[in-house]
């Protein structure tokens, strides 16, 4: 009896070890991105020649897992991207970069919306028209990189 227990124990360890070495399917991150959209831009030829205009991307980041942090966003439609927030200072709304990233709480959500947190697209390479779509790469501290399609729409609909 004791011999059978030892044999089954060793067999179980061997199976577990060989399965873990296979790599398997990566564990789900628990993050889902919803309600994604970018503000349309209206670019003149002069604006294009002077380095383009800016726009912003908004979304809701839902988290069914452990706390994470959005640390970077990139896209080929702009010269650079920054994580931004808007806050009231001395009675004036001011936009500024978010230092250290945007926290995504465990089993919670964070909303990037007009007048608040958002991804700033700086120096657009092209006009963003309602109906267009482009890709945005989001880099999270724990979940890694997620690439999402971003539909463009007018600010007021």
Assigned domain for 133 exists? yes
Domain-embedded: residue 51: yes
Is position 121 within any domain? yes
Using CA atoms in the order 75, 73, 35, 150, what is the torsion angle rounded to 10 degrees?
A: 10
Question: Of 149, 145, 109, nearest to 29 (Cα)?
Answer: 145
> For residue 64, is it within any domain?
yes
Those residues of the chain that have pLDDT short of 70 are 1-28, 43-52, 156-157
**Whole-number Å distance between alpha carbons of 42 and 37:** 16
The SS3 assignment for 19 reads helix
For 123, the domain range is: 32-153
Tell me the CATH number at 94: 2.60.40.1890
| Number of domains the chain is built from | 1
Does some domain include residue 19? no
In a domain, 49, yes or no: yes
Q: How far is CA 150 from the centre of its chain?
A: 11
CA distance 110 to 113: 10
Q: Among all chains, which residue has been given the structure tokens 């890694």?
A: 144
């Amino acid at each position: 009896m004791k011999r059978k227990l030892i044999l089954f124990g060793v067999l179980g360890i061997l199976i577990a070890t060989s399965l873990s070495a296979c790599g398997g399917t990566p564990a789900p991150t628990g993050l889902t991105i919803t309600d994604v959209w970018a503000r349309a831009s209206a670019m003149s030829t002069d604006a294009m020649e002077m380095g383009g205009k800016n726009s912003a991307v908004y979304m809701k980041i839902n988290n069914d897992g452990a706390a994470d942090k959005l640390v970077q966003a990139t896209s080929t439609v702009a010269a650079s991207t920054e994580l931004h927030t808007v806050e009231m200072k001395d009675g004036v709304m001011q936009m500024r970069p978010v230092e250290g990233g945007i926290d995504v709480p465990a089993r919670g959500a964070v909303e990037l919306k007009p007048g608040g947190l958002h991804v700033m697209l700086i120096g657009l390479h092209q006009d963003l028209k309602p109906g267009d779509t482009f890709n945005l790469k989001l880099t999270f501290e724990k979940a890694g990189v997620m690439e999402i399609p971003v539909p463009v729409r007018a600010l007021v609909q």
